[in-house]
Amino acid sequence: MSEDHSFLDVRDLRIHFRTDDGLVRSVDGLSFRLERGRTLGIVGESGSGKSVTSLGILGLHNKRNAQVSGEIWLEGAELVNSPPEAVRKLRGRKMAMIFQDPLSAMHPYYTVGKQIIEAYRVHNNVSKAVARKHAIDMLGRVGIPQPARRVDDYPHQFSGGMRQRAMIAMALSCDPELLIADEPTTALDVTVQAQILDLMRTLQHEFNSALIIITHDLGVVAELSDEVLVMYGGRCVEFGPATTVFDRPEHPYTWGLLGSMPRLDRGVTDRLLPIAGTPPSMINLPSGCHFHPRCAYEPRTGGLGRTVPPELNRAGGGSHLVRCHLPSDERQRIWSQEVKPKLEAQ
C-alpha cells in the first residue's frame, strides 16, 4: 500500500496462460502510470500483450487458465487481489472498454438502445424510461443523428462509423473515469477513423477521463497520445512522452516500427524497411533481451543481449525510459546518424 499513487498505477503486471504446449507469458512484468485527463498509447505487434494487458486491468481474464500477478491500483483500490465481485462492480462504472469490431462486440439480437440501457441500469437503479432517455442522450453526444429513432435500431443497421460511436456511447454511459480503447479504429475506413479519434478526444476532455489507446497504428498514437508505451514480448521496451518517442526514439524496435510505417511524404516506389525476423513465441521467448534475434545492433552489446535481460534505463531526458543494453548516448548516436537518415532518404 503505497501513498504516492497515480489515478491508474500498474506495477509489475504478469499475466501467464497455462496451455497444453506450455506457459504463455503474454505480459511479463509491465509497469506504468496514468493520470486522469491524460492519454496513454500502447503500441506493439500482434501477440505483444497489449490486449491482454487491457483485459487484465478490467479483470476479464478467466481465473481457470490465466495467472495474474502484480498490482493494479485504480484510485487507491488494488484490483488483482480484490474479490471478483468487487471488480465487477467497477467494470462499466469506473472503467470501461471500447472494442475493435463493434459489429461482433455488440449483441446482434438486442437493439443498441437496449444494450446501452442495460449498461446503464446495471450500475444505476433507475427506471427503464429514465435509462432510455439517457441512452438517447448518449447517442446524441457521440454524434449520431436522430438518436431518438436510432435508439431502437439493431447493431447491423448502423454503418461502421456510427456503430463504433454507439459502442463508445455504451462504454461512456456510466461516466467511467478510465476508458480503454482496444484498436478502436482498425475496422473503420480512414475518413471515419479521423472522426472517431476526434470524438474520443472531445469526450475525454469533456469527462476528464484517463484514456488508454491500444493500437498497432503509430498514426493513431501520434494523434491522440500524451505518452507512448512500446510493448514487445510482453514487456515495455520504450516509454515516454509522445513527441519524444517519435522524435528521438532510442529502442531498435521502435526504430523498426517507425521504418515500417508507410508515409505519404515518402516516395511510392521506395521500399519499406521491415523489421527482420518474426514475432517471438510467447512460450519460448528468446533468452536475454527478447528482441535480440531481430536486433541489428545486438553484436554491439558484446554478447549481453543474448544472455542478460536488460532493465529499463533512462534515455535522453525526463521520463523517457528504454529497455536496452546499449548506452543511451550510443543509442542516440545510432538514431541520428544511421537510422534517421535512412528513414528520411526514402
Partner 1 sequence: MLTFIIRRLIGAVLTLLVVSMITFGIFYLIPRWAGGSAESLATRYVGRTANPEQVQAAVKALGLDQPIYLQYWNWVKSIFAGADFNTGTSIEHCPAPCLGYSFIGRNPVWPDLLDRLPVTTSLAFGAAIIWLISGVAIGVLSALRRGSFFDRAAMGVALGGVSLPIFWTGIICLVIFSYGLGWTAPGGAYTPIEQNPGLWAYDLILPWITLALLFSAAYARLTRAGMLETMGEDFIRTARAKGLEEHTVVTRHGLRAALTPIVTIFGLDVGLLLGGAILTESTFSLPGLGKYAIDGIVANDMPKVMGVTLLAAFFVVIANLIVDLLYAVIDPRVRLG
Residue numbers of the site for partner 1 (CB under 8 A)? 55, 58, 60, 88-93, 96-97, 99, 101, 104-109, 118-119, 122-123, 154, 156, 170
In the complex, least distance from residue 104 CB atom to partner 1, rounded to whole angstroms:
4
Cell 431518438 belongs to residue: 148
Cell 483485459 belongs to residue: 55
Task: Compare residues 104 and 307 and give the one whose CB is closer to partner 1.
Answer: 104
Task: Compare residues 53 and 301 and give the one whose CB is closer to partner 1.
Answer: 53
In the complex, least distance from residue 245 CB atom to partner 1, rounded to whole angstroms:
29
- Of 213, 209, 219, which Cα lies nearest the Cα of 231? 213
In the complex, least distance from residue 335 CB atom to partner 1, rounded to whole angstroms:
39
- Of 322, 324, 285, 319, which Cα lies nearest the Cα of 304? 324
Task: Compare residues 40 and 55 and give the one whose CB is closer to partner 1.
Answer: 55
In the complex, least distance from residue 92 CB atom to partner 1, rounded to whole angstroms:
3
Neighbours of 105 (CB within 10 A): 17
Describe the chain by its helix, strand, coil percentages, rounded to 5.
40, 20, 40
Task: Compare residues 170 and 315 and give the one whose CB is closer to partner 1.
Answer: 170
DSSP calls for 26-63 = EEEEEEEEE-TT-EEEEE--TTSSHHHHHHHHHT-S-T
Task: Compare residues 163 and 331 and give the one whose CB is closer to partner 1.
Answer: 163
| Distance between first and last Cα of the chain | 51
In the complex, least distance from residue 85 CB atom to partner 1, rounded to whole angstroms:
9
Neighbours of 316 (CB within 10 A): 17
